[in-house]
Structure 1
Amino acid sequence: MVGARLAVFVVFALNGAAFGSWAPRMPALAESLHAEPGTLGLALLGASVGMVLAASFCGGAVARFGARLGIAVPLLAGAAALPLIGLVDSIAMLAAVLLLLGAATGVVDVAMNVAAVAVERESGKAIMPVFHAGFSVGAMLGAGVAALAASRGWPVAEHLTGVAVATALVLAAVVRAVPSTVSATTKSEPTKGGSLARRPVLWLLASIALCSAVAEGGSADWSALLLVTEHGMSQGAAALGYAAFSLAMAVTRFAGAWTQNRFGAARTLASGAALASAGLLTAALVPGTVSGYLGFVLAGTGLAAAFPIALGLAGEAGRRPDGSGGEREIAFVSALAYSGFLFGPPVIGGIAQLTSLSVSFVAVGLITALIAPAALAATRSLARERAAADAVTTAVPSGTTSARR
């Protein structure tokens, strides 16, 4: 029987495989639609809008109905939307399909992180990076199949139909083992979005995830086109650039839990930001096939810990005395982070239209470096919140319940 930890890992992998399957086919779509980088960036905006809107409003629903249902329904809806990407005949249609796919992905992302936090709390150890390694493994496999499909000239619609069917079958095998996460407290607690917005630690964690999202999204959406136009690779070889990025991220995330437990969240995030920034600058500025692949390997390695640690800390910031909570905090941070996917694609495409994709990736590398100071500030802010909350809990007389959060 599948355990909860493995089930959640597989769900992360399925979400990554879906994304890794369609993003590397952008060169084929650009060619079939005769789209320039700036126009294609506007179409990619559809997925980002869907993700931001869904993540902004799904926190309460995931808290009420549980992570299991929050994963199953939108993941199946997203799988059904995948083949439509290969059937579009205009930029407007592509944007509409990506809007639907992005909305489904946004809900799944919040729900699977809530499930991951529940498993992490049960284990008593920091293991969020391991679950996010599942996303990277899935993205790597999806990108690998996409590279094969591109090199063999498979139609995008047929390729993505196969991905959709495989997603539904694997989900059916593991969904019952995903934690429900429904409790009496989460079902009855009202939404407190205003109070969340007044907490500096959540804004700092969101900025970390946002910078990571810009870099991850830029690598996913534009790495293949960068390697084709600036490094002279074929479409099949260029698609392997994102596969290398995902492989490096997956391997690093498997070790990320140990690194976080050994060196702490702040040091892990800051050192990763420096490495990722250096990798993106290498991919942007150093010509040649080897430097292109190496740059994205370094970027994947450095970014590996950013998103999982930020969301794990967001869940910890929302933890209640009974061990539940964190759904709305994760949704809050996720929604703000997804704005990186929202403005990232059109900004990168716009800069490329005016200059080149190399200049765009230089900008992304500089944005990635901002993770380091945000990480230091966020961990200090969370420590202050914990100390204040512990003081309040200690002051509450025995037999009563603290009103914290």
Structure 2
Amino acid sequence: MATWGPRMPSIRADLGLDNAGIGIVLSGVTVGSIVGLVASSALLSWLGSRAAIRTMLWLIAAGVAAIAVGAGLLHSVIFTAVAFAILGFGIGSLDVMINVDGAAVERAIGKTLMPLMHAGWSAGAVVGAGLGALCALVDLDYQWQFLGEAVIIAIGITIAARYLPARLADDVPDDRPPLKDRVIGWLKGWTQLRLLLIGLVMLGVELGEGSANNWLTLAVRDGHDKTDAVAAAFFTVFAIGETAARVFGGPLVDRIGRVMTIRLTTALGILGLLFFILGDHAWLILIGVVLWAVGVSMGFPLGMSAAADSGPNPAARVSVVASIGYVANLAGPPVVGFLSRSFGLLDALWLIVILLAVGFAAAGSLRTAR
């Protein structure tokens, strides 16, 4: 997911689009991700966890390569938009599959491991963005970067997939219900109060994470009148802080439980955003960035775990809450941007404070099922 961000100026130039046009092309990721989320449960049942995860990562590699061909070689807007949709489908499906599988491993081992697994995602985002920035710095054309990363992804998953569990812990029986009944069961998940409350927790933290990825540097530069270098450094601190919180968060969850962990981290996130929005000094703003990162670090992995063990058909349950998280992560930052036009960027971040407070109140929904 960190592949294309640093190279968007070059992609936009090769496609001959303005910001509005490139936004439409990127909407393929959103559409593809939502379709992938819906299809993930059926694919997981059909292929089994190991084959499904491997297939989706191969699809992601193909999507990255297709973007390189469509934008860098063919300069085709339609081809590139379809490539982004393919990539989004793979990302959306994989997100459910890997979290269901991770939750099954977590239950089998009896320790909280999901935050550590999600730390891998955060670290990958840092490394991926760094690779993109480095390739841009040395003036390597993005199409060759993308093709090289596609090969690395394909080879890496071919090797790593051998060590994934072959089946889910709760194997799907051969006489599973027809597809129509399974779709109805997925739709019923949207009527279950506990899943919706878990989704509320994820709504706040994912809006906070997505907004940091999109707006933190601009808020530091424009809202607090800092240099580009300082803004970039603050974003790096955010990424490192989120990764570190996830690495060390598992033992904390085992000690105090999911509910108290979410309440503690969201409270710290609220405090951090207050420092960030209202702070005048660089050191206070930096503390705010660190606390902001901690505040949004645990909601998504713990929400996935809570959804997976909340009842039967964990893939469908994870799909429901993941859909809410995706909407917040992908659609929330444009809402912040829209609010910033009327209230200013810093004041627009009060929306995150409000939703983190809602997540704090709804944290009881993550309680481990007896």
2:34 aligned partner: 52
Q: Is the 8 A contact 2:40 2:94 kept in 1?
A: no
SS at match of 1:198: coil
Q: Is the 8 A contact 1:66 1:180 kept in 2?
A: yes
How far apart are 1:85 and its partner, in Å? 4.8
How far apart are 1:226 and its partner, in Å? 4.1
2:116 aligned partner: 130
Distance 1:107 1:258, change over 3 A: same
1:269 aligned partner: 262
Distance 1:160 1:373, change over 3 A: same
Distance 1:274 1:290, change over 3 A: same
How far apart are 1:366 and its partner, in Å? 2.9
SS at match of 2:123: helix
Question: Quick check: 356-365 or 47-56, which moved more?
Answer: 356-365
Question: Quick check: 153-162 or 305-314, which moved more?
Answer: 153-162
CA distance, structure 2, for counterparts of residue 92 and residue 134 of structure 1? 33
| Corresponding position: 1:358 with 2:340 | no
2:48 aligned partner: 66
CA distance, structure 2, for counterparts of residue 74 and residue 261 of structure 1? 31
| Corresponding position: 1:22 with 2:4 | yes
AA aligned opposite 1:308: P
SS at match of 1:370: helix
SS at match of 1:58: helix
User: Identity across aligned pairs (percent)?
Assistant: 27
User: TM-score, normalised to structure 1's length?
Assistant: 0.76
How far apart are 1:74 and its partner, in Å? 1.8
2:176 aligned partner: 189
AA aligned opposite 1:366: I
1:315 aligned partner: 308
CA distance, structure 1, for counterparts of residue 342 and residue 82 of structure 2? 26
How far apart are 1:306 and its partner, in Å? 0.6
CA distance, structure 2, for counterparts of residue 331 and residue 223 of structure 1? 28
TM alignment of 1:292-331, pairs within 5 A = 294-318=287-311, 325-331=313-319
Distance 1:164 1:294, change over 3 A: farther
| Corresponding position: 1:170 with 2:156 | yes
SS at match of 2:309: helix
- Write out per-residue CA displacement over residues 10-47 of structure 1, whole angstroms, 9 at most, x where no aligned residue: xxxxxxxxx233334456667876745x7765554432
1:397 aligned partner: none
| Corresponding position: 1:100 with 2:82 | no
| Corresponding position: 1:160 with 2:136 | no
CA distance, structure 1, for counterparts of residue 22 and residue 249 of structure 2? 34
1:206 aligned partner: 199
User: TM-score, normalised to structure 2's length?
Assistant: 0.83
Report the count of equivalent residues: 357
1:79 aligned partner: 61
How far apart are 1:201 and its partner, in Å? 0.9
Distance 1:102 1:289, change over 3 A: farther
How far apart are 1:289 and its partner, in Å? 6.4
Distance 1:196 1:349, change over 3 A: same
CA distance, structure 1, for counterparts of residue 132 and residue 271 of structure 2? 27
How far apart are 1:268 and its partner, in Å? 0.6
CA distance, structure 2, for counterparts of residue 302 and residue 326 of structure 1? 26
Of 333, 340, 359 in structure 2, the residue corresponding to residue 371 of structure 1 is 359
How far apart are 1:166 and its partner, in Å? 2.0
CA distance, structure 1, for counterparts of residue 27 and residue 353 of structure 2? 21
1:148 aligned partner: 134
Compare relative contact order (CA 8 Å, sep 6+) and give the higher one, 1 or 2. Answer: 1
Question: Mind listing any 5+ residue stretches in structure 2 that lack a counterpart?
Answer: none
AA aligned opposite 2:3: S
SS at match of 1:317: coil
2:249 aligned partner: 256
Distance 1:295 1:165, change over 3 A: farther
Distance 1:330 1:187, change over 3 A: farther
Question: Quick check: 274-283 or 245-254, which moved more?
Answer: 274-283
CA distance, structure 2, for counterparts of residue 226 and residue 187 of structure 1? 53
- Write out per-residue CA displacement over residues 32-74 of structure 1, whole angstroms, 9 at most, x where no aligned residue: 76745x7765554432232222112321321332221221122
2:238 aligned partner: 245
